[in-house]
Structure 1
Amino acid sequence: MKKLLIVLVVLLGGFISAFAVSAGSMEDDHTFAGPFEDVVGAIKQGDVNALSRYLDNNVEINISGKANSYSKAQAEIILKDFFSKNQVKSFELLHQGGDNSRYGIGTLATSGGTFRLSFFLQKKGGSFVLNELRFENK
């Protein structure tokens, strides 16, 4: 009976530690990598190619009060034009949130001025897509 108890304690301890390691790695993956973090990184670099991987088929873009809905291809052109005229100096993420959809709001400092940048990612199928970007003059 004593041997059975020792075996159960060892097995239970191994199960608990394996679960803790597995849960920790899942938390790390969620915290440090993913579409939201990729979009923030692309904005910090002014990298339209990296952003375009997440663009939805239709994207609403608002630049200084001029808003329109664009196809993915048109949105890439609009964003390339914006970032070519406004080289990124820095991007500071101020707010973020959401579960089935994610949003980020921050301050984008560029060679052409400072903007309040908001972006929205929506869950579509098994992944997130970028469906709205707003660049507002500060």
Structure 2
Amino acid sequence: MQSVAQFWPHNKVAMKVNKYISSVVFALISFHAVSVMAQSNDVISQVKETIKAGSAKELSKYLNQTVDVTIDDKVESYSKAQAEFIFRDFFKQHPANEFNIIHQGQSKGGQPFAIGQYKSGTETHRVFMKIKTVGNQQLVHEISFVKE
């Protein structure tokens, strides 16, 4: 088998080609990572607006088919439709005065997450959500509202 250097008379040319190929691969990987981050930021901002509005129906559009929901100390896994009813009741009992995302990022494995603060009357809930890529969509896989 012939080496790359045999096709090009100078090793400098082969090194430039390798460097160029490496740069293109790095750029493609970087573009993909930025694209995934932009999608997760977009989903988080959309979820933020639906929670602010207290709309369980709109929130359900961003939920995975199965979602882990924590309301105070009760942790359950629900279907998307069941979770919509749970959030409808929660928003009815605790109408939003204010909701803000106070931190967002990614786990070491690259899973996006966000932490927020939900205020209703005199109560404040800490909100935590994990985003998961399903197919080509970013969806909420886990969400919790825990009273502070």
Same topology, TM > 0.5: yes
Residue 141 of structure 2 corresponds to: 131
Unaligned runs of 5+ in 1: 1-22
Q: State, as a whole percentage, how many aligned pairs show the same letter.
A: 31
Unaligned runs of 5+ in 2: 1-30
Superposed CA deviations along residues 57-90 of structure 1, whole A, max 9, x for unmatched, are 1111111111010111110100100001000000
Residue 93 of structure 1 corresponds to: 101
C-alpha separation between the residues in 2 aligned to 1:81 and 1:112? 18
Structure with a larger share of its residues in strand: 1
Q: Name the SS of the counterpart of 2:112 in structure 1.
A: strand
Q: Please state if 1:72 is matched with 2:47.
A: no
Check whether the contact 2:100–2:117 (CA below 8 A) recurs between aligned residues: yes
Q: Please state if 1:114 is matched with 2:124.
A: yes
Q: What number of residue pairs does the alignment pair up?
A: 111
- Max radius of gyration: which structure? 2
Check whether the contact 1:88–1:109 (CA below 8 A) recurs between aligned residues: yes
Match of 1:82 among 77, 90, 93: 90
**For structure 1, which segment, 66-75 or 105-114, has the greater mean C-alpha deviation from structure 2 after superposition?**
105-114
Aligned CA RMSD, in angstroms, stands at: 2.2
Q: Name the SS of the counterpart of 1:34 in structure 2.
A: helix
